[in-house]
Structure 1
């Protein structure tokens, strides 16, 4: 039986937090994508397809931010059975500086046949810009996985 859209979102969040690249990638359709509409310059706004997702996730494991916990997670199922909205707070560390990082996120995911076809991650770009500035602008990262 195919997982519900809500179950897929729960699995995506768990895999992202655990930095479980293979599980994360396998939850996406072959042409599925993650995009971040509001990011500072120099950070990719969209990663598309399983191979790009795999490369991106692997790089992120050594990147700018490591999240240790998601808090206050609320999953909203919509009248469209493919669309789920999730709100959560991501708490972690800026790797180069050791500084704590707190990011509030709202994401809109479209799930079809048990796979993510789109994941729009609306994170606070100011938090990410501050982390990049504190780390000297080095590295590529998103603060919303």
Structure 2
């Protein structure tokens, strides 16, 4: 029996929050992709395939922001049984400063045969830009 799309999305959210890269990558289709349509400079627009996704997550996971919990998680099952839309707020902290960090996310995820084909992550880029600015310029707004 194939795992439902909703269950796969719940599993990938848990793997992401727990920074379980192996579990996250195992949920991806071999040719699946993750896409960030709205992102700050330096963040790739798309990662395709398990190897590229694993490399990126290994290099970046937990290096800038750590997330402790996801709140107000709402999963929307759609008329297309492969597609689930998820909304949530991610709460954590900036690694460099330990300051609290909140990110609002809406993701559109397509699942087929128990694996993620596409994961479009529509994060709000403004908190990321503000956090990047605060880390590079410091609390006074001056570089250095």
User: How high is the TM-score relative to the length of structure 2?
Assistant: 0.92
Is contact 2:25–2:53 with CA below 8 Å preserved after alignment? yes
Structure 1 unaligned spans of 5+: 138-145
CA RMSD of aligned residues (A): 1.1
Partner residue, 2:117? 117
Runs of 4+ in 1 over 4 A off after TM superposition: none
Q: How does 1:37-52 map to 2 (within 5 A)?
A: 37-52=37-52
Is contact 1:65–1:92 with CA below 8 Å preserved after alignment? yes
Is contact 1:97–1:134 with CA below 8 Å preserved after alignment? no
Structure 2 unaligned spans of 5+: 138-144
Cα distance in 2, alignment partners of residues 83 and 49 from structure 1: 19
Q: Does 1:126 align with 2:126?
A: yes
- Judge which range, 8-17 or 44-53, deviates more: 44-53
Q: How does 1:1-145 map to 2 (within 5 A)?
A: 1-136=1-136
**What is the DSSP-based 3-state SS (H/G/I as helix, E as strand, rest coil) of the residue aligned with 1:136?**
helix
Q: Please list the CA deviations of residues 74-123 of structure 1 after superposition, one character each: whole Å capped at 9, or x if unmatched.
A: 00000000000000000001101111100111000000111000000011
Q: How many corresponding residue pairs?
A: 137
User: How high is the TM-score relative to the length of structure 1?
Assistant: 0.91
- Judge which range, 127-136 or 102-111, deviates more: 127-136
